[in-house]
Structure 1
Amino acid sequence: MGELILVRHGETEWSRTGQYAGRTDIPMTEAGRSAVRRLRPVFASRPVAAAFTSPAGRAVQSATLLGLADVRADDDLREWDYGGYEGLTERQIEATRPDWDLWRDGVLPADAAHPGETAAQVASRVDAVLARVRPLLSDGDVVLVLHGHLQRVLAARWLGLPPEAGRLLAHPHTATVSILTSEHDQPVLGSWNVRPDSVLSER
């Protein structure tokens, strides 16, 4: 069986400043593109059977820079819709909602383009992704290029935990690799939030 390899897209201006970017298509910085390129050798010798990406430009471009072939965009890999908190930092949100916590308190709706999502709605999307990719693992690794909060929910669901358990996993840095695998037919976390230089030093 192959492994499910998660890659968070490269840095954007909003990820650098801590602004929530759900539906907004923020381009990567040059530093972000450079960091993703450093991950490319990781996939050169892996038996990649399939690759999927969020349709957001920063994820699609990251998949291209990784050198992945036949990458398919999957709308279910979009980031959590932050609704009325789109573009805000945690400090800005807490100015009106002290001690706000995404996992506990959720988001407020904004408009038709940013209605917001609950953790359960995000989990429904990642459950659909997992149902599609699990059969492909019999042919090799599957790579998903995605976003930070969505990645945490997906990992929680892989482990059979409720979506809110994603809060127990550190928010992945941009341009990092995480691996979901199994031991004795049980889903486990193989590695998490590994930066390019660390990945290459282990090879």
Structure 2
Amino acid sequence: MGELIVVRHGQTEWSLSGRHAGRTDVPLTEAGEAAAKALAPRLARRSLVAVFSSPLGRAMRTAELAELAGAEPEPDLVEWDYGGYEGLTSEQIQATRPGWDLWRDGVPPGDADHPGEQLRQVALRVDAVLNRIRPLLADGDVAVVAHGHLARVLTVRRLGLDASAGRMLGHPHPGTLGFLTTEHGRPVIAAWNVP
């Protein structure tokens, strides 16, 4: 059984400043590009049978720089749509909504480009991706290039947990890897936040 390799896209100006970037396509910084390139040697040693990426530029560029040839754009890997909180930091949100927690409270609707998404909707998208990936793991490793919150939901759903358990994982740092393998036939996290 192959491993599911979760690649967090490289740093952007918004990830650096803590702004929520769901559907807004923010480009990689120079540091983000360097981190993505640094992933290439580690990923080159893997027997990848498939690579899927969020279609947003920051993820596709990370796949390109990490030399993940043939990365297939997968719309269901787009980041959580933060709706009315798009572009805001957690501190800005909590200034108007004290105690706000994305995992518990979700997001309000935004404009037409950012209608917002609740956790159950993100989980449904992730489950569709996992249903596509599971049979491929019989033949080798599969890499997905995605975003911070989406990667957390993907990981806990792969582990068979409720999507809300994503709050218990540390946020994957930009330009890092997570490795999900199996132990005694059950999915486990082998490593997380690997540069």
Does TM-score exceed 0.5, indicating one fold? yes
Question: Counterpart in 1 of 2:110?
Answer: 110
In 1, the alpha carbon distance for the partners of 2:112 and 2:124 equals 20
Query: 2:178 matched to 1:147?
Result: no
Question: Counterpart in 1 of 2:97?
Answer: 97
In 1, the alpha carbon distance for the partners of 2:158 and 2:29 equals 31
Q: CA deviation at 1:158?
A: 0.6
Q: Which runs of 4+ in 1 moved over 3 A?
A: none
Question: Counterpart in 1 of 2:133?
Answer: 133
Q: CA deviation at 1:138?
A: 1.2
Query: 2:122 matched to 1:122?
Result: yes
Question: Counterpart in 1 of 2:13?
Answer: 13
Question: Counterpart in 2 of 1:47?
Answer: 47
Tell me, what secondary structure is at the counterpart of 1:39? helix
Question: Counterpart in 2 of 1:193?
Answer: 193
Query: After superposition, what is the alpha-carbon deviation per residue over 1:103-133, rounded to whole angstroms, capped at 9, x for unaligned?
Result: 0111000122111111100000000000001
In 1, the alpha carbon distance for the partners of 2:168 and 2:63 equals 27
Query: What are structure 2's unaligned runs of at least 5 residues?
Result: none
In 2, the alpha carbon distance for the partners of 1:48 and 1:147 equals 20
In 2, the alpha carbon distance for the partners of 1:183 and 1:174 equals 27
In 2, the alpha carbon distance for the partners of 1:41 and 1:168 equals 30
Q: CA deviation at 1:135?
A: 0.5
Query: What are structure 1's unaligned runs of at least 5 residues?
Result: 196-203
Write the mapping of 1:158-177 to structure 2, written as runs, cut at 5 A. Answer: 158-177=158-177
Query: After superposition, what is the alpha-carbon deviation per residue over 1:170-201, rounded to whole angstroms, capped at 9, x for unaligned?
Result: 00000000011111111111111112xxxxxx
Query: 2:96 matched to 1:74?
Result: no
- Matched residue pairs, number? 195
Tell me, what secondary structure is at the counterpart of 1:38? helix
Query: After superposition, what is the alpha-carbon deviation per residue over 1:18-72, rounded to whole angstroms, capped at 9, x for unaligned?
Result: 0000000000000100011111001112101000000000000000011112110
Tell me, what secondary structure is at the counterpart of 1:67? coil
The alignment's TM-score, normalised by the length of structure 1, stands at 0.95
